Amino acid sequence: MRLVALTVFCLLLSGVAGAAAYFFPVVVAGVGQTGQTVIIPPSVTLGAKTTPAPAASPGAPFTVLLLGSDDDSKFASDHVLTQSMILVRVDPQSRHVAMLSIPRDLWLPLSSGGSGKIDWAYSNGGPSAAMATVERNFHVHIDEYAWIGLKGLIKLIDQLGGIDVLVTNPVLDDFYPDDIGGGYAFGAKRVAVLPGAQHLDGSQALQYVRSRHNDINGDFGRSARQQEVLLAIKAKASTLNAADLPDIVTALKGEFKTSMGLDRVRSLLGVASGFDLANVQQVVLYAPTYTYYPGYYINGNSVVLPHWNQILPVVKASFP
């Protein structure tokens, strides 16, 4: 009897060890890349009301600030600009998702002091500064953030086996940044993404969401494409299961970090499988409705300025 019990115990132990080895990359990523501590700094210049940060209960709606950056050699590590800022509110119970793309050239007061383009916020003060800047200007509470670098996006999509996107019009660019391969950081190359439904790998998807020089809507058009790809990633991620996580987190090593804990990441995967595209509300702060080009440079920077009286009602309705 003792021998049987000992045998079962030893087999259980070895089984757990095998499972632990399999999920070891997830544990490492869980420690190193998720659950990042965020301390929203006190406002230096902004008088806007900062919303309290209640702990979101399981199943309650929550808001995530998605940040996408250059992470190439043009920048010092951890001082990168955010080329993409998308505020996402997920309501797991009603299965409703709202997405708001914030133009990177939006000129507004920064949480770290003074005014600047919103893509500087992360560069100056990391995710906490980016979150604080968005919270105080848009009067919205943010629960979590998730940051991904360019290479991370490529790896994520490749790990998903590519994504399906319906490209609405040709995306052509003669000055697309050629900064991924480790060569000259300020190099350029030509890209052409043809219109129509197609299966894109990571590099092709990055070209689709990053190109902006030949888009009549400039950065706004790029923001709309980013939302399309985000939804395509969501659609693909909905078919994943826990056994896929080690490969994904290994691929994303150093290219992804988030304040979300593993439990919330896991619940997000579960939630993603049940969403219907019809329940996704997409907002891009297009000019001239929500923003406008002032017709002059501010401190040498090409910027867009906000129509807060148009923006805030939309934000209040979509991110209550």
Partner 1 sequence: MILRRLAALLFVPLMVAFGSGVYLYLGTLKSKVVKEHAQLPTVTKPKFVLPGTMFVVQDGRIFKLNAGSFTEIGPAGDWSQPALTPDHTRLLAVARAGASSDLYLLDLGGQIVKRLTKNDSKILDANHWAYYPRVSPDGATLFFSFDSPKLVKAAPGVDLSVWSMPLNGTQSQARRWTDPYWYTGGDVSPIPVVGGGLLYVRHSIDPSTAVHAQIYYQTRPFGTGKALTSLADDCSEPALSPDGTQLAMVCSRGKQTAALEVAPFNGGVLGPAKVLLDSGLYASPAWSPDGKALAYLAPAGAAGHFQLWYLALPLPAASATASTSAAGASPASTPRPTTTPAPLAPVQVTQGVDLTGTSAPAWY
> Which tokens belong to 111?
């949480």
The runs of H, that is alpha helices, within the chain are 2-22, 24-32, 119-138, 150-159, 202-210, 218-237, 245-251, 262-272, 308-318
Among 73, 239, 279, 310, the residue binding partner 1 under the rule CB under 8 A is 239
Among 190, 254, 292, 298, the residue binding partner 1 under the rule CB under 8 A is 190
**Taking the complex as a whole, how short is the minimal distance between the CB of residue 145 and partner 1, in angstroms?**
26
Q: Between 84 and 103, how does the x/- string for binding to partner 1 read (CB under 8 A)? A: --------------------
In 3D, which of 26, 42, 6 has the Cα closest to residue 265?
26
Beta bridge partners of 24: none
Out of 44, 192, 298, 317, the residue judged to bind partner 1 by CB under 8 A: 192
DSSP bridge partners of 304 = 106
Number of CB atoms found within 10 A of residue 6's CB: 10
Q: How big, in percent rounded to 5, are the helix, strand and coil portions of the chain?
A: 40, 25, 40
Among 8, 13, 48, 317, binds partner 1 (CB under 8 A): 13
Nearer residue to partner 1 within complex by CB, 114 or 196 = 196
Q: Chain centroid to CA 87: how far? A: 8
Contact 81, 119 (CB under 8 A): yes
By CB under 8 A, tell whether 286 contacts partner 1.
Answer: yes
Least distance (Å) between residue 131 CB and partner 1 = 29
Residue 66 CA to residue 75 CA, distance in Å, equals: 20
What DSSP line would sit under 55-90, residue for residue?
PPPTTS-EEEEEEEE--STTS-TT---EEEEEEEEE
199-238 residues in contact with partner 1 (CB under 8 A) are: 199, 213-218, 220-221, 228, 231-232, 236
- What is the smallest separation between the CB atom of 228 and partner 1, expressed in angstroms? 6
Q: Which is nearer to partner 1, 111 or 159 (CB)?
A: 159
Min dist CB 166 to partner 1, Å, is 5
270 binds partner 1 (CB under 8 A): no
Size of the site for partner 1 (CB under 8 A): 61
Window 21 to 40, contacts with partner 1 (CB under 8 A):
21-23
Interface with partner 1 (CB under 8 A): 7, 10-11, 13-15, 17-19, 21-23, 159-166, 168-175, 188-190, 192, 194-199, 213-218, 220-221, 228, 231-232, 236, 239-244, 247-248, 277, 286-287
